[in-house]
Amino acid sequence: MSNVCEICGKKKAHGSTIIRRGLAKKKGGIGMHVVKVSPRTFEPNIQSVRVQENGVVVRKKVCTACIRAGKVTKSC
Protein backbone atom coordinates (compact mmCIF):
# COMPACT_ATOMS: atom_id res chain seq x y z
CA MET A 1 0.00 0.00 0.00
CA SER A 2 1.23 3.46 -0.80
CA ASN A 3 1.77 6.05 1.92
CA VAL A 4 -0.66 8.65 0.48
CA CYS A 5 -3.57 10.46 2.17
CA GLU A 6 -6.87 9.47 0.56
CA ILE A 7 -8.44 12.88 1.34
CA CYS A 8 -5.86 15.52 0.33
CA GLY A 9 -3.35 13.40 -1.60
CA LYS A 10 -0.39 14.28 0.64
CA LYS A 11 2.58 12.03 -0.14
CA LYS A 12 6.38 11.75 0.19
CA ALA A 13 8.43 14.89 -0.41
CA HIS A 14 12.12 14.88 -1.27
CA GLY A 15 14.73 17.18 0.20
CA SER A 16 18.24 17.09 1.61
CA THR A 17 20.15 17.18 4.85
CA ILE A 18 23.03 19.65 4.86
CA ILE A 19 26.05 18.87 7.05
CA ARG A 20 28.15 21.88 8.03
CA ARG A 21 31.51 22.23 9.82
CA GLY A 22 33.30 25.14 11.37
CA LEU A 23 32.72 27.76 13.99
CA ALA A 24 29.96 30.29 13.34
CA LYS A 25 30.98 33.91 12.66
CA LYS A 26 29.03 35.20 15.66
CA LYS A 27 31.04 32.84 17.87
CA GLY A 28 34.36 34.17 16.57
CA GLY A 29 35.03 31.74 13.72
CA ILE A 30 35.28 32.18 9.97
CA GLY A 31 31.81 30.78 9.30
CA MET A 32 30.09 27.47 8.71
CA HIS A 33 31.03 25.56 5.55
CA VAL A 34 28.92 22.94 3.79
CA VAL A 35 30.70 19.57 3.84
CA LYS A 36 28.07 17.17 2.51
CA VAL A 37 24.53 17.20 1.16
CA SER A 38 22.60 13.93 1.56
CA PRO A 39 19.21 13.21 -0.01
CA ARG A 40 16.33 12.42 2.33
CA THR A 41 12.55 11.96 2.19
CA PHE A 42 9.88 13.64 4.28
CA GLU A 43 7.17 11.10 5.12
CA PRO A 44 3.59 12.24 5.81
CA ASN A 45 2.00 11.23 9.12
CA ILE A 46 -0.58 8.77 7.73
CA GLN A 47 -2.98 7.00 10.09
CA SER A 48 -5.37 4.16 9.29
CA VAL A 49 -8.77 5.42 10.49
CA ARG A 50 -12.30 4.03 10.55
CA VAL A 51 -14.41 6.66 8.78
CA GLN A 52 -18.18 7.00 8.47
CA GLU A 53 -19.00 7.53 4.77
CA ASN A 54 -22.62 7.59 3.52
CA GLY A 55 -23.73 5.67 6.62
CA VAL A 56 -21.14 2.93 6.04
CA VAL A 57 -17.99 2.42 8.11
CA VAL A 58 -14.90 2.31 5.86
CA ARG A 59 -11.19 2.08 6.71
CA LYS A 60 -9.10 4.83 5.09
CA LYS A 61 -5.50 6.06 5.23
CA VAL A 62 -5.70 9.72 6.25
CA CYS A 63 -3.03 12.24 7.24
CA THR A 64 -3.23 13.79 10.71
CA ALA A 65 -3.71 17.28 9.23
CA CYS A 66 -7.02 16.14 7.66
CA ILE A 67 -8.11 14.44 10.91
CA ARG A 68 -7.42 17.61 12.92
CA ALA A 69 -9.13 19.82 10.33
CA GLY A 70 -12.30 17.71 10.63
CA LYS A 71 -12.34 16.60 6.97
CA VAL A 72 -13.34 13.08 8.08
CA THR A 73 -15.93 11.88 10.59
CA LYS A 74 -14.41 9.13 12.69
CA SER A 75 -16.60 6.23 13.80
CA CYS A 76 -16.23 4.39 17.09
Spatial distance between the Cα atoms of 5 and 51, rounded to a whole number of angstroms: 13
* Mean pLDDT of each 10-residue bin along the chain, 76 residues long: 90 97 96 97 96 93 96 88
d(CA 27, CA 68): 42
**pLDDT value of residue 37:** 97
pTM of the model: 0.73
Domain map (residue ranges) of the chain = 13-69
By CB neighbour count within 10 A (0-12 exposed, 13-18 middle, 19+ buried), where does 5 fall?
A: buried
- B/e letters for 59-70, b = 16+ CB within 10 Å, e = fewer, are ebbbbeebbeee
Q: Could you report the per-residue pLDDT of 8-28, keeping only the tens digit for each? A: 999 999 999 999 999 999 999
pLDDT at res. 1: 57
65 neighbors 8 (Cβ within 8 angstroms): yes
